[in-house]
Structure 1
């Protein structure tokens, strides 16, 4: 079935059933009356398997006595909900570039490509379309702003890894807000061409901010395009940031960046469209790092609250909440001490990344065990500590986002008994994923969609 017929038939079917279905929220009422969305906030927890969503909410329930904001939207029946197929043109298992391109360009492309088809065709990304229509646009992320997920909404490039080029491609687009990490792709001393892109952005009229205090100090009426870059690569994991005063002063949370972006973008009389990405959820899943994973998912959940609070006040905003693909399929497994084991996560101080980066080959097994106990509250045996330390004689573990080749897999295996969390692997999966919407346009959502269908849905929801 052609996409236009699919959505036409689906919309008519939903409008027919709306006469007898209970009204969910005021936002849904606006939508069902035929009003277009003026704004879209598209939230992506990158690499979020369903188990990640579930365990983050379980952690909040047991630690703070509350459901996650995402699952609370389900519990209170405030959203339209669907499953989404995530395949790319080259594989049932997508990467983030092809996944974001499916939303951004409306066409499935090969893994590794950003809105460039197998035949070389360049597809116009959706933020360029909305910018041309007069809306303010932007992206916010916890990984480099040049990374695959934001780039898929912004530019076309056949190689997602060419992030120095992507940083250059952003400049003439004059997007209104771009925030995340990735300073290495803007700094003259790190770029191959030795170009100072920060200086070029400033000359082009951008306000460039490099730390949290500068971002939060921007005046209410700030109107210049905003580039915020707060780390050389990805931003630190939320769990590690919570324990470091310097990082708290330097690096904003995803919720803070989202709030600042909305404050600036909402001034456009024609509305705005923005993407918000919890990108390090994916990095943590690749590392089988449970503490990093769940606390970054919770940080993403706080950004959901910022978006939903704004939408409920505004009444003209479509909020889309989803992920681009699953990753590693973590889950909480049955055992005699499952609850006690899982509850250890409430008291975690640091991630596996923090633990492993602080170990050297000259350490003793006792020192390794002491570091783990301090960071995560459980003790490993001298034999296990010695086995972990042995990896440091020749670091050789593969995997994405592991430049030092640290033994993430070995540490995760030791933690399974301590946390009751086990993993299906260390890479992306082909799972159908969660998709939720609220606000005008959410009535267009059928119960099952392809990732490319969201491109059409966003354009229809805004009347384009």
Structure 2
């Protein structure tokens, strides 16, 4: 078959879509004799390659003397484990919007779309379905609450970039707990239409919280919208090393704990999504300190979910990722252990480091900054190359879009042993783990869109809510 004909005639079938890419086939394999779940906690470390998972585990074992929560579940054989594909309707390599929509809408959609199918289909997003069943629902994330992954469980939109519109959609949906970053999409000073969504949420009965202390104090007697940063939250490594951020910005585990506390008051149960969204951002930037410590931040949220589920006995916990990103790994050398140990004492992400460098910095200042915060010792020529990447505009300010993430990562690799395959998403099959009622139905390999019906059937949803 010619290549052009393959993509015209066979691409959707090759991806396992069939005509519409629905989850209909999965329903035939689901055992109705399995125990039903009252609650679901769906945890996704966005953009987590397998190397990210295992390096975080190595770091924790040798820095703190304990395994990661996720790998510990495997060691103790507490979860069912599978592989999952990650394709979208338009590519073997998905973006987060299409990957999340496979779960949220039960069908594959084109990259960039949120629950809008290749032929314009608009399946009802899964949290709306669970809301009609009387359950409390919500999302917590380390990126904007309007970002692709949380939005994929909530809304239909032709473009993941329509975050200002998604903020308005959330006002109408009135989900029970939504927390993360993204204040800029609610602030009239930052919105193009200058609409004051902060006031709109407050006037329509939301508890709008902006700090960790405000989050902790909220009682959950009305819908909660938590907005803890203008865009994404700071990287975990930067938060824990900054007293002001530590005081103001909650960790993913703290948001998860609060969300469970509020949502679990509903006698009919709850469904929530927890996203470690900045794992993906760190992978795009080849930012090893940010990547590993945000993965650990996510892992702590896994621990919170598992603590609740093991006591509750009625909760299905799903732990996965939507796709790989950049495929980082620890590579062999005679000093592999010693090199990786540099990650034990880092105090800042590459992003934070690069944002401290201003026009006029000397080579020695750059060298001192890296050595004091990351124990990375640059050569004079490396420091000069970093400085050469800073572009000064007509207003005298450098363009942050030109920050030299990749050159710095390449320099660090020689000293940490952490290397990267690229700086974008991959088509890897990914880890999928489940604990609790319904997990016995997990087969060894699943297509991503099959999780939609899986979750609904696990909670005993009416057949009318399933994808046909």
Could you state the TM-score of these two structures normalised by the residue count of structure 1? 0.92
The number of residue pairs the alignment matches comes to: 436
Q: Within 5 Å, which residues of 2 pair with 1:142-221?
A: 142-219=142-219
How far apart are residue 183 of structure 1 and its match? 0.3
Alignment gaps of 5+ in structure 2: 1-17, 394-398, 462-468
1:447 alignment partner in structure 2 = 444
CA RMSD in angstroms comes to 1.4
Tell me whether 192-201 or 406-415 shows the greater mean CA deviation: 192-201
**Following TM superposition, by how much is the alpha carbon of 1:119 offset from its aligned partner in structure 2, in angstroms?**
1.6
- Cα separation, 2, equivalents of 1:382 and 1:420: 21
Cα distance in 1 for partners of 2:416, 2:123 equals 45
Q: Could you tell me how far apart the structure 2 residues matched to 1:409 and 1:35 are?
A: 49
In the alignment, the residues of structure 2 paired with residue 112 and residue 403 of structure 1 have an alpha-carbon distance, to the nearest angstrom, of 25
Deviation >6 Å, runs of 4+: none
1:343-354 correspondence to structure 2 within 5 Å = 343-354=341-352
1:424 has 2:444 as partner: no
Higher mean C-alpha displacement, 165-174 vs 146-155: 165-174
Partner SS, residue 116 of structure 1: coil
Tell me what 1:9 maps to: 29
Conserved? CA contact 2:86–2:428, under 8 Å: yes
Q: Distance in 2 between matches of 1:403 and 1:379?
A: 23
What secondary structure does 1:194 align onto? coil
Secondary structure at the counterpart of residue 316 of structure 2: strand
Residue in 1 aligned with 2:453?
A: 456
- The CA deviation at 1:172 is 1.0
Match among 294, 297, 314 for residue 296 of structure 1: 294
Q: Tell me how far apart the structure 2 counterparts of residues 404 and 36 of structure 1 sit (CA, whole Å).
A: 49
Structure 1 residue 106 corresponds to structure 2 residue 90 = no
Aligned pair 1:248/2:241, yes or no? no
* Cα displacement string for residues 139-187 of structure 1 (whole angstroms, at most 9, x for unaligned residues): 0000000000000000000010010000001111110000000000000
2: CA distance, partners of 1:302 / 1:156: 31
Contact preservation (8 Å) 2:34, 2:441: no
**For the residues of structure 1 that align with 2:458 and 2:378, how far apart are their CA atoms?**
54
C-alpha distance in structure 2 between counterparts of 1:233 and 1:105, whole Å? 26
> What is the aligned partner in structure 1 of residue 402 from structure 2?
405
Secondary structure of the equivalent of 1:165?
helix
Distance 1:109 1:71 in 2: 31
How far did 1:7 drift?
Answer: 4.4
Are the aligned partners of 1:10 and 1:446 in contact in 2 as well (CA < 8 Å)? no
Per the alignment, residue 51 of structure 1 pairs with 51
In structure 1, what is the Cα distance between the partners aligned to 2:138 and 2:400?
29
Distance 2:108 2:192 in 1: 31
Looking at structure 2, the residues matched to 246 and 67 of structure 1 have their Cα atoms a distance apart, in angstroms, of 29
Contact map agreement 1:7 1:444 (CA 8 A) in 2:
no
- Alpha-carbon shift at residue 361 of structure 1 (Å): 2.5
Deviations 1:417-444, CA, capped at 9 Å, x for gaps: 1110000000000000000000001011
Q: Distance in 2 between matches of 1:3 and 1:118?
A: 15
- Counterpart of 2:125 in structure 1 is 125
Question: Which residue of 1 is the match for residue 310 of structure 2?
Answer: 312
Aligned to 2:72: 72
Change over 3 Å in CA distance of 1:394–1:449 after alignment to 2: farther
Measure, in 1, the Cα distance between the counterparts of 2:392 and 2:157.
36
Per-residue deviation at 1:324?
Answer: 0.3
Q: Which residue of 2 aligns with 1:356?
A: 354
**Paired residue for 2:235?**
237
CA deviations over 1:103-131 (Å, ceiling 9, x no partner): 00001000000000122121110000000
Is the deviation greater in 266-275 or in 354-363?
354-363
Distance 1:437 1:403, change over 3 A: farther
Check 1:136–1:421 CA distance in 2 against 1; reply closer, same or farther (3 A cut): same
Distance in 2 between the 1:445 and 1:436 partners? 9
**CA distances 1:306-325 after superposition (whole Å, capped 9, x unpaired):** 00000001000000000000
**Shift of residue 374, structure 1, vs aligned partner:** 1.0
- TM-superposed deviation, 1:203: 1.3
Q: CA contact under 8 A between 1:285 and 1:327: conserved in structure 2?
A: yes
User: After alignment, is 114-123 or 305-314 more displaced?
Assistant: 114-123
Q: Secondary structure of 1:180's partner?
A: strand
| Runs of at least 5 residues in structure 1 that lack an aligned partner in the other structure | 13-32, 396-401
Provide the rounded CA distance (Å) in 1 between the counterparts of 2:136 and 2:168.
20
Deviation at 1:394, TM superposition (A): 6.1
- Which residue of 356, 368, 371 corresponds with 2:369? 371
Aligned-residue offset at 1:404:
2.2
